[in-house]
Structure 1
Amino acid sequence: MADIQAVTDADFESTVLKSDKPVLVDFWAEWCGPCRQVAPILEELNAEHGEKLTFVKMNVDENPATPASYRVTGIPTLNVYSGGELVKQIVGAKPKAALAKELADYL
């Protein structure tokens, strides 16, 4: 499975909101320690469940408009979008088992 694709303000709508399957967006930044902790967990989940749920990441420092429009105030924030709508939001780093449980409806 390929690495998790980066998404930008410019392609967020086409990549995420218009996707034909649910998309998890990892809002992160280089300086965020908990973001670095959750990244390998998301890569594992992507490898295991990438056919059901698309995983992408967005650097909030380089792309401020989208996080602001979805009221992302703390990172890491994991948003799940389905059918163009925000359907789930998980804030903060969590262990793999906890993330898998929270995402069970989409995996």
Structure 2
Amino acid sequence: MKNLNFVTALIVFLFSTTLFSQISGTVFRDFNENGTQDVTTSYNEVGVAGVTVIAYNNLGEVGSTTTSATGSYTFSGLSLPLRIEFSGYTIGDYSSAVGTSNQSSVHNSTMLQVLLQILE
């Protein structure tokens, strides 16, 4: 009977523990609109510094950061699900449609493409 109680307690602990994630990405100018950051002789799609990146859960804002000189940003220790929003691009940047052709599912997608990496 003791073994059964231990297993039950372990299962309750595993399912009641909140898992935290790391979300990182890069904001860059996607000149050829292929959804991939290309650095070639044809395209030098550099990262964009100074873009504000805000993470929200269902209760509101849970984190905020600004992209680095290379356009990268990271959030750590946040629990999923999250919504990520971007603001503060320069006048030369403009909106594009969300869809499969630009390989982005970000709802406020722009010509500034965003690469996300989520680590759980």
TM-score range, shorter chain: under 0.3
TM-score (ref. length: structure 1): 0.24
Normalized per residue, the structure richer in helix is 1
Higher relative contact order (CA 8 A, sep 6+): 1
